[in-house]
């Protein structure tokens, strides 16, 4: 008798995708509220993942007289934002959702263009990074407001992350003197 072995692809295809019915949620949360939270958190996971990858890209490509200052400022930002992405992904899992962290899913889902600056002076990168932080923080605030309606625990996570993101944004702005 011939049997068909499960391949990694087949196994992957049988796993639930984000947005499908949740097997459980945190006690006291409705399925509907949790579905909305997970959808919103998945967007935040994509943004934070994009941000920490972009920060590394800038770390590698910045040039000019302030190279060392900007290059060294960015690694702690990468670490901080990676931790935020991890916390958001684990919140999704805690709520019974499926955190999707693959590069293809990120690109398919995102609503913004890829970071466009390559090797360039620090001033050019810092202006571009200012815009990136503007977008991420604005969307984090919107997600925080939604969580405030649905789940104070998720709201608490996003409030603390927004506070930290705003501080990192200040570092970027302060480096180019605005
Ligand atoms: Fe490095």
Distance in Å, CA 75 to ligand 1 centroid: 7
pLDDT of residue 127: 96
One DSSP character per residue, 4-54 reads -PPPHHHHHHHSPPTTSPPS---TT--HHHHHHHHHHHHHHHHHHHHHHHH
Distance in Å, CA 60 to ligand 1 centroid: 7
Going along the chain from its start, the domains and CATH numbers come out as 31-176 (1.20.1260.10)
Distance in Å, CA 98 to ligand 1 centroid: 31
pLDDT of residue 7: 45
- The Cα 43–Cα 108 span in angstroms is 11
pLDDT of residue 128: 97
pLDDT tens string, the chain, 178 residues long: the values are 444 444 444 434 444 454 456 888 999 999 999 999 999 999 999 999 999 999 999 999 999 999 999 999 999 999 999 999 999 999 999 999 999 999 999 999 999 999 999 999 999 999 999 999 999 999 999 999 999 999 999 999 999 999 999 999 999 999 987 6
Whether 168 contacts 77, CB under 8 Å: yes
pLDDT of residue 176: 81
Distance in Å, CA 96 to ligand 1 centroid: 36
Distance in Å, CA 42 to ligand 1 centroid: 28
pLDDT of residue 178: 64
Strands 120-121 and 62-63: parallel
pLDDT of residue 98: 95
Characterize 34-48 residue by residue with b for buried, 16 or more Cβ atoms within 10 angstroms of its Cβ, and e for exposed: bbbbbebbbbbbbbb
pLDDT of residue 28: 93
Q: Which structure tokens are listed for 99?
A: 């955190």
pLDDT of residue 24: 87
pLDDT of residue 77: 98
pLDDT of residue 20: 57
């Amino acid at each position: 008798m011939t049997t068909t072995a499960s391949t990694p692809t087949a196994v992957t295809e049988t796993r639930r995708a984000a947005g499908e019915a949740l097997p459980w949620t945190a006690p006291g949360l409705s399925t509907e509220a949790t579905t909305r939270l997970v959808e919103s958190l998945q967007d935040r996971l994509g943004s934070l993942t994009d941000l920490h990858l972009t920060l590394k890209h800038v770390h590698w490509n910045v040039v000019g007289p302030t190279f060392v200052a900007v290059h060294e400022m960015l690694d702690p930002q990468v670490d901080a934002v990676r931790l935020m992405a991890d916390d958001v992904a684990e919140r999704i899992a805690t709520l019974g959702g499926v955190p999707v962290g693959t590069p293809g899913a990120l690109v398919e889902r995102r609503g913004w263009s890829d970071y466009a600056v390559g090797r360039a002076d620090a001033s050019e990168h810092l202006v571009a990074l200012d815009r990136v932080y503007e977008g991420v923080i604005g969307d984090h605030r919107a997600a925080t407001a939604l969580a405030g309606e649905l789940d104070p625990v998720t709201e608490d996570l996003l409030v603390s992350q927004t506070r930290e993101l705003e501080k990192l944004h200040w570092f970027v702005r302060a480096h180019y003197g605005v």
